[in-house]
Amino acid sequence: MSFTDEYAVLKQLRAGADHCDIKSVDVERAPDAACLREFIAGSLNYNPAWIRSLYRVRAGFVRLLGMRQDGIPSAPQFSAATVPFEPGASAAFFRVVTAEEGRHWFAAASESHLTAHLGVILESRGAASRLHIVTLVHYNRWTGPVYFNVIRPFHHLVVGSMLRAGASHAQTQRSVTYGNA
């Protein structure tokens, strides 16, 4: 499977997007359902103090834009077996949109100002894997581009850190079989 095999799902979700970025990492692990699930669990569970601090700053910023934030999201505690793959299932503050074991996983979060999709695509590199984190942003009103352009540098730091955390987690997990949770 190549990254372009996932083009149909990516093309559908990307339609009309105002922003798209893709960050990639290679791991020395077979490209299978377990690898994808471990990577997602490691990425979503990543929640150090500096990210919680950014949410505190965000709360004040969104108030200036006439929006509100309902507290600081707590870190989920997913294992590979509990990462939700069913459309509509909750994944932290995201909802799963589409997922296919061993291939891809996309979830969305929608607020008044924008809708964001977070996706993971697993690409085979022979005995190794390349994992891609995809971010798609659709602005819902004028505050969308204002908000996103202010937080964009932090978005890249957070997603890059999630990528490394997911890769580290996927790299260290071995020999476990996972099915639909």
Which tokens sit at 107?
A: 């979830």
Question: Does 178 map to a domain?
Answer: no
The parent domain of residue 143 ranges over 3-172
On whether the CB atoms of residues 118 and 106 are closer than 8 A, the answer is yes
What is the distance between the alpha carbons of residues 30 and 34, in angstroms, rounded to a whole number? 9
Question: Does 181 map to a domain?
Answer: no
For the chain, give the mean pLDDT. 85
The domain tally of the chain equals 1
Q: What is the CATH number of the domain that holds 146?
A: 3.30.530.20
Q: Percentage of the chain with pLDDT > 70?
A: 88
Question: Does 177 map to a domain?
Answer: no
- Quick: pLDDT tens for 27-42: 988 888 899 999 999 9
Which residue bears the tokens 């190794």? Answer: 128
Mean pLDDT of 127-145: 93
Identify the pLDDT of residue 175: 36
Question: Does 43 map to a domain?
Answer: yes
* Model confidence, pTM: 0.86
Within 3-93, strands assigned E span 19-27, 90-91
Mean pLDDT of 119-143: 93
Mean pLDDT of 84-95: 94
What is the distance between the alpha carbons of residues 51 and 153, in angstroms, rounded to a whole number? 13
Identify the pLDDT of residue 71: 61
Which residue bears the tokens 């077979």? Answer: 30
Give every CB contact of residue 103 below 8 A, 6+ residues apart in sequence.
Answer: 1, 5, 6, 36, 121, 122
Question: Does 144 map to a domain?
Answer: yes
What is the distance between the alpha carbons of residues 47 and 139, in angstroms, rounded to a whole number? 26
Question: Does 179 map to a domain?
Answer: no
**Closest CA relative to residue 116, chosen from 103, 107, 104, 105:** 107
Give every CB contact of residue 65 below 8 A, 6+ residues apart in sequence.
Answer: 113, 143, 146, 147
Question: Does 136 map to a domain?
Answer: yes
